[in-house]
Amino acid sequence: MTPRILVLNGPNLNLLGTREPDQYGRETFSDLADSCGASARDLGLDIEFRQTNHGGELIEWIHAARSRCAGIVINPGAWTHTSVAIRDALVASELPVIEVHLSNVHKREPFRHNSFVSSIAVGVICGLGSAGYRMALAHLGHMFVEQAA
Ligand code: DQA
Q: Whose CA is nearest to atom 12 of ligand 1?
A: 77
The CA distance from 145 to 115, in Å, is: 29
The CA distance from 137 to 6, in Å, is: 10
Most informative mutation of 101, 117, 135 for ligand 1 (most atoms within 8 A of CB): 101
**pLDDT at 149 (0 to 100):** 78
* Residue 12 beta carbon below 6 angstroms from any ligand 1 atom: yes
**pLDDT at 130 (0 to 100):** 97
**pLDDT at 12 (0 to 100):** 98
**pLDDT at 135 (0 to 100):** 98
* Residue 101 beta carbon below 6 angstroms from any ligand 1 atom: yes
Q: Whose CA is nearest to atom 7 of ligand 1?
A: 77
CA of 2 to the centre of ligand 1 (A): 30
**pLDDT at 29 (0 to 100):** 97
Q: In Å, how far are 50, 58, 83, 118 from 16, measured between CA atoms? A: 13, 18, 22, 23
Contacts of 138 (CB under 8 A, 6+ apart): 39, 43
| b/e code 118-136 from CB counts within 10 Å (16+ = b) | eeebeebbbeebbebbbbb
* Residue 77 beta carbon below 6 angstroms from any ligand 1 atom: yes
> Among all residues, which ones are annotated catalytic?
24, 101
Which atom, in ligand 1's list, is nearest to the CA of 76? 13
CA of 102 to the centre of ligand 1 (A): 7
What pLDDT tens digit does each residue of the chain (149 aa) get?
A: 899 999 999 999 999 999 999 999 999 999 999 999 999 999 999 999 999 999 999 999 999 999 999 999 999 999 999 999 999 999 999 999 999 999 999 999 999 999 999 999 999 999 999 999 999 999 999 999 888 87
**pLDDT at 1 (0 to 100):** 80
